[in-house]
Amino acid sequence: MKNVLSLIIKRCSASLVTVCVISIIIFIGVELLPGDVAETVLGQSATPETVEAFRKELKLDLPAHVRYVAWLKEFVHGDFGTSLANGRPVSELISWRLANTLFLAVSTSVIAIPLAILLGMAAAFYRNSLFDKMISIITLSFISFPEFFVAYIFISILSVQLNLFPSLSVIDPKMGLADRLYTILLPSLTLTCVVTAHMMRQTRAAIINVLASAYIEMAELKGITRLKIIIHHAFPNSLSPVINVIAVNIAYLVVGVVIVEVVFVYPGLGQLLVDSVAKRDLPVVQAAGLIFSLVYIFLNLLADIFSMLSNPRLRQSNIQ
């Protein structure tokens, strides 16, 4: 138990260092954006005195490292700054948008994860059959297509031609759960097709790899049916890679949905990030970028921990 705890502490320490490095990259990336932020916000008609006063208000006259330390300290205390576009606290802008992004991610995960695992187990059970080949073709097709292409196909068929679902996923805080689920069905379906393909193929490959083990051959010699072997023996011992790919795809659902949110005009954090970049609203860009990074790193950390707990061999290899 002490060894496992030591490994978890090491993983947490490495994640913390990664967060610090990413925060530096985000800050430097924003600093390297062309043009002057004060002039962009105030417009070309602003006088030099007004621009200089606004720069002091934004603390742009201070050295970069001083502003970075101040920004990181405020971020840790929950103060994300004030939006340059509308003067509202960034935390107010981000909280509702982040909740919408998480709602879309959770809704998609509830459908995609069980579907991917069932399809992966079925493809492994019917390995090299027509069903397996058809599933592989379909999943490879969804992996190959970019998200916006899949989104526009669904909009064209399900929204424009069949008029079953709205083409724009515009929601507001007053909507009920049923209305929200109906409104986000198209973006959720788009994301489901993409992430299910990745998780299903990884599940299939992991189970097939375990099926080549000696204890599986012994179970077959004992007369245990192939379905029971896959459910009770192969799948539990292939959880480590499956957990990893599930965590990565959940992280993608939170972090990588920018394109899907823009296509469906979904009021999530990705849409806010795109709008803020266009407006040069740097406090929002920095806060959103770091929040995305924290979510991605946290989910990968959970994947590492659960992989170690589900596979004793990983714990032994790390200890040695």
pLDDT, one tens digit per residue, over 166-222 is: 888 888 888 888 889 999 999 999 999 888 888 888 888 888 888 877 777 788 778
Structural domain boundaries in the chain = 94-264
- For the chain, give the secondary structure using H, E and C: CHHHHHHHHHHHHHHHHHHHHHHHHHHHHHHCCCCCHHHHHHCCCCCHHHHHHHHHHCCCCCCHHHHHHHHHHHHHCCCCCECCCCCCEHHHHHHHHHHHHHHHHHHHHHHHHHHHHHHHHHHHHCCCCHHHHHHHHHHHHHHHCCHHHHHHHHHHHHHHHCCCCCCCCCCCCCCCHHHHHHHCHHHHHHHHHHHHHHHHHHHHHHHHHHHCCHHHHHHHHCCCCHHHHHHHHHHHHCHHHHHHHHHHHHHHHHHCCHHHHHHCCCCCHHHHHHHHHHHCCHHHHHHHHHHHHHHHHHHHHHHHHHHHHHCHHHHHHHHC
pLDDT in tens, 16-28: 899 899 999 988 8
pLDDT at 164 over 70: yes
What pTM was computed for the model?
Answer: 0.81
Query: 90-122: per-residue pLDDT in tens?
Result: 888 888 898 999 999 999 999 999 999 888 888
Please state which architecture CATH assigns to domain 94-264. Orthogonal Bundle (1.10)
